Structure 1
Amino acid sequence: MPQRRARGYQPGWTPRTSRRELLAAVQRVLDRYTEQLPLTIRQVWYLLISDGILVKEERTYKGLVDVLGMARRSGRIPWEALRDDTAINAEPDFYDGPADFRAAVHRAAAGYRLDRQAGQPVRLEIWSETAGMVNQLRAVAGPRGVPVYSGSGFNGLPAKRAAALRAAADGTRPVRVFVVSDWDQSGVHLFSALAEDVTAFAAVDAPGSRITFERLAVTEQQITEHRLPTAPPKASDRRSFTGTSTTQAEALPPDVLAALARDAITSAQDPDILEALLEREEHERRALLAGLGIDPATDS
């Protein structure tokens, strides 16, 4: 009979020496990138390859998936440190009672935010081919009001039309889209398909709009500069590709990706406009809290 797979928590799991050493290396990676947690397992895999712990073979990735599964079941690795993005949730909103509702109103007022791209000369978006990297990018883009979307591969037709409709709703302001995708045949063609399809939809839904697309990552320069693990292009993929090697976006260290996104956003935005908007936002937040009978000075 085949060996039965583990189910539920496994507090008694005792990994052999090689797995303990691998988990120690994983923990060093998690400690190094605490500001970018949670990481995807593939990001961890690439970082272990860069550290010389694993070789870039699919078998080592599959082995890492198995080890990290048991490590989380046993409590050796925190569940919150890794991101899977395989579940889709649709949970109803509800309150425990009037007090809970008032607390929710309080939280909403305390978190009052304006559109932080309002008044900027260009509206920015970030698109990520990999859904698991969206939250890492959002941690950088969110404070400046820049939305992050998942590209959903080649099948995100409604998402591409939605991008054109956003451009239409924004009027004549130019839109600049930063794209994070793999450097391979699929990632390159995803970038071009995204740009061409959104532009074609916008020609009808937002005539006169200006939408530009810029590859934020991964580029050949970044592969060389950061010595990213590579693989030859797939011989079975006949689509045109000028690169001599390929790599996935998750091979880019999380802190490097964060810096690239931060620099791209700050270079495109006017800091004086943002500062004035943040001052207005704070003033209006305080007025809202005061209207609820809450002293803004004591609100946390």
Structure 2
Amino acid sequence: MADLTAVIRGKEVATPDKRPRGPQPHWRPRRETLRVLTAVEAVLERYHDHLPVSLRQVFYVLLGDGVLDKSERSYKRMCEYVGMARRSGRIAWEAIRDDTQIAVDAPPCFTGPAGFWAAVASAADDYRVDRQSGQPVRLELWCETAGMVPQLARIGEQFGISRFSGGGFDGLAGKHDAAVRAAAGGTRTRVLHVGDRDPSGEHVFAALAQDVAAFAAAADVEVEFERVAVTAEQVATYRLPTAPPKASDRRSFSGTATTQAEALPPDVLAAIVREAIWAHRDPEIHRQTLAREEAERRAIRLAVGRWHAAGR
């Protein structure tokens, strides 16, 4: 393959390696690549209701299926295969969640009044009340890995629960913000946490719980932390893959082997998180809240329709 170049403002700039760039519609995978990709596609189909999933989650499922061996080399090769499959159009871009994905925040704009009214109608359809109102405890979902946020968001949305990833809460400001939210909530706050079972994961969880609780106590509110996953019992129950702790990590650890949260299959993780949420929800209050929300949504739709019909 010839050296690749990029064109920036009319000038050719040599790329740092010979890897393919941009779309690759004519790519044809070799036999081994095709074997792995076929297995990857089967995983994406199996967990269609939980997409997008992270590459680590796909990798752990393939380990359990006996398609790959547990090595960093196998993981990197799988990532390369999936990357080319996405470039070629074989795997949909939206099926995989990238931890390094760039956040996009575009300002709102409309093509004209018709587009505005369509947006207003859509907003009416999306009307939501605070689904945690009246519950005995206000919940938040926190996870160590950013790639798992979309899956937790899908679960938490049903209950009106906010989701946060490691990048959003392990800094000093993030911990303080958590205490501020707890103070504004008007009731106890309980954080349901999903993280790796390793020295780093345990240290992060303990540090978070202690620091947030201290900030909250200063504001005369209570914040509790609950480790939802990964636990030692889950590692044994679901026979999750493990690895020895890193020799360089001297921090205390309650176990003898480590397991990443992404080793839990997406459907299993969803069931675990949903069960933890229901353990702190009053079903009747939840039902009444949803009924009130639907009644108010219908009233808003009617009001929007009358406003639009009047030509205002």
TM-score between the two structures when normalised by the length of structure 2: 0.90
Quick one: distance in 2 between partners of 1:150 and 1:242?
24
Are 2:50 and 2:266, in contact at CA under 8 Å, matched by a contact in 1? yes
Q: Which residue of 2 aligns with 1:50?
A: 64
Q: Which residue of 2 aligns with 1:210?
A: 222
Deviations 1:51-70 (A, max 9, x none): 11111111111111111110
After TM superposition, the structure 1 = structure 2 runs for residues 7-26 of structure 1, keeping only pairs within 5 Å, are 7-26=21-40
After TM superposition, the structure 1 = structure 2 runs for residues 67-78 of structure 1, keeping only pairs within 5 Å, are 67-78=81-92
The one-letter code matched in structure 2 to 1:7 is: R
Q: Which residue of 2 aligns with 1:161?
A: 176
Deviations 1:179-199 (A, max 9, x none): 000000110001001101101
Quick one: distance in 2 between partners of 1:143 and 1:268?
14
**More moved, 84-93 vs 70-79:** 84-93
Quick one: distance in 2 between partners of 1:74 and 1:194?
42
Q: Which residue of 2 aligns with 1:221?
A: 233
Deviations 1:174-222 (A, max 9, x none): 1111100000011000100110110111122x21x22110110001111
Q: Which residue of 2 aligns with 1:32?
A: 46
Unpaired runs of 5+ residues, structure 1, are 295-300
The one-letter code matched in structure 2 to 1:241 is: F
The one-letter code matched in structure 2 to 1:105 is: V
Q: Which residue of 1 aligns with 2:198?
A: 184
Are 1:153 and 1:190, in contact at CA under 8 Å, matched by a contact in 2? no
Are 2:194 and 2:230, in contact at CA under 8 Å, matched by a contact in 1? yes
Out of 97, 106, 109, which is 1:91 matched to? 106
SS in 2 for 1:144: coil
Cα displacement (A) at 1:292:
1.6
Are 2:168 and 2:174, in contact at CA under 8 Å, matched by a contact in 1? no
Quick one: distance in 1 between partners of 2:161 and 2:277?
8
Cα displacement (A) at 1:145:
0.7
Quick one: distance in 2 between partners of 1:96 and 1:269?
43
Cα displacement (A) at 1:157:
1.8
The one-letter code matched in structure 2 to 1:125 is: E
Are 2:195 and 2:230, in contact at CA under 8 Å, matched by a contact in 1? yes
Cα displacement (A) at 1:109:
0.9
- Aligned-residue CA RMSD in angstroms? 1.6
Quick one: distance in 2 between partners of 1:277 and 1:70?
46
After TM superposition, the structure 1 = structure 2 runs for residues 271-286 of structure 1, keeping only pairs within 5 Å, are 271-286=283-298
Quick one: distance in 1 between partners of 2:85 and 2:281?
43
Cα displacement (A) at 1:153:
8.2
Quick one: distance in 2 between partners of 1:245 and 1:154?
26
Are 2:170 and 2:208, in contact at CA under 8 Å, matched by a contact in 1? no
SS in 1 for 2:154: helix
After TM superposition, the structure 1 = structure 2 runs for residues 136-155 of structure 1, keeping only pairs within 5 Å, are 136-152=151-167, 155=170
Out of 257, 274, 281, which is 1:245 matched to? 257
Are 1:129 and 1:153, in contact at CA under 8 Å, matched by a contact in 2? no
Cα displacement (A) at 1:88:
2.1
Unpaired runs of 5+ residues, structure 2, are 4-15, 307-312
Quick one: distance in 1 between partners of 2:105 and 2:126?
23
Out of 69, 81, 96, which is 2:95 matched to? 81
Q: 1:27 to 1:93 in 2, by over 3 A?
A: same
SS in 1 for 2:279: helix
SS in 2 for 1:228: coil
Q: Which residue of 1 aligns with 2:268?
A: 256
